[in-house]
Amino acid sequence: MTETKLREQICLYGKSLFDRGLTPGSSGNISVRMPDGGWLVTPTNASLGFLDPARISRLDARGSLVSGDKPTKEIPLHSALYDTVPESQAVVHLHSTHSVALTMLPEIDPRAALPAMTPYYLMRAGQTALVPYYRPGDPAVADAIRGLAGRYTSVLLANHGPVVTGRDLEGAVFATEELEETAKLYLLLRGTNPRYLSPAQVEELKQHFPINFEPDHNH
């Protein structure tokens, strides 16, 4: 895909996420890795609903700004996933309400923030990690993601929001949306003793789809 098309795609998905209330104000950021090792990334203090393709930040492989506006301060979150998950080609970070709410619940397992609720959660987001709270911009949050050693493509930052990677931008967006909807389901069903997918059902899915989920961490 050409750089022009990728810039347009970032703006299109950003507006879609913003219009549906998945990241308020100027929160959230999106990046796409380029063939030369550099990135396209949304600018700092920019609303995802009102992005200009020409002002998207273009970084080189060293992370230096080549063109466009000053990039988001959340660059370390993105680089932590790019550096540890080899197939990563895009990263989406939102402040989506239900995903943030989930991170505040006392029973959440940091190794598996959500149980096997639906096949689509497993297929798109896979097992989700929860990392502790750090103030925005603290380099320690990127270190915490690196500490996961690439075992997760979807990560929740406590009291902050999800950071999700994908093989392309569409995949990263769809996985982030699936994570948010699954967090919403979990909150709706909390305390009602719902039926989750059994370990056998998870194993059956794994035989047909490339799923990263370990049933022994199930709730």
- Cite the beta strand spans of the chain per DSSP E: 29-33, 39-41, 57-59, 65-67, 90-93, 128-131, 154-157, 161-166
CA geometry: angle at 211 spanning 208 and 215, to 5°?
Answer: 105
Q: Please write the tens of the pLDDT for every residue from 104-144.
A: 999 999 999 999 999 999 999 999 999 999 998 788 999 99
The per-residue pLDDT for 14 is 97
- Catalytic annotation, pick one of 13, 120, 134, 152: 120
Q: Is the pLDDT of residue 67 over 60?
A: yes
**pLDDT average, residue stretch 13-38:** 95
For range 154-158, the mean pLDDT: 97
The whole model's pTM is what?
0.94
Residue 60 has pLDDT above 70, yes or no: yes
Q: At 179, which helix (H) or strand (E)? A: helix 169-189
pLDDT of residue 70: 95
Task: Specify the CATH architecture of the domain 3-217.
Answer: 3-Layer(aba) Sandwich (3.40)
pLDDT band for position 217 (cuts 50, 70, 90): low
Output the CA angle 17-23-25, nearest 5 degrees.
Answer: 115
Q: Please indicate whether residue 120 is annotated as part of the active site.
A: yes
Write the single-letter amino acid at 6.
L
Q: Is the pLDDT of residue 215 over 70?
A: no
pLDDT of residue 138: 87
Q: Percentage of the chain surpassing pLDDT 90? A: 90
